[in-house]
Amino acid sequence: MDDMKLTKEIVKAARGLIGFSALQLAEASGVALDTVKSFESGRNKSLSADNQDRVQKALELAGVQFLESGATSDGDGVALRTGEP
């Protein structure tokens, strides 16, 4: 997952899976709440490499498993299918 770029949709979905609020993610990651909210709302199109790493690690520590295209999960969960159903 090192090369995967987090999107606002991925971060919001990951938070939803573990029941994290934006505030909880900010606290767990050490990233400012305004940065999390700006990213998730689309005001900021991307996170800095450092902030992305912090957000990813905080979500992983809370139980999220990030999947690259074609990867499979170690447990129950959901993934977004690309292309036509």
Asked if 66 contacts 56 with a C-beta cutoff of 8 angstroms, the reply is yes
Q: What residues contact residue 69 under an 8 Å CB cut-off, 6+ apart?
A: 82
User: How confident is the model over 47-84, as pLDDT tens digits?
Assistant: 999 999 999 999 999 999 888 777 777 777 767 666 65
Statement: residue 12 has pLDDT above 90: yes
**3-state SS class at 16:** helix
Average pLDDT over residues 13-17: 93
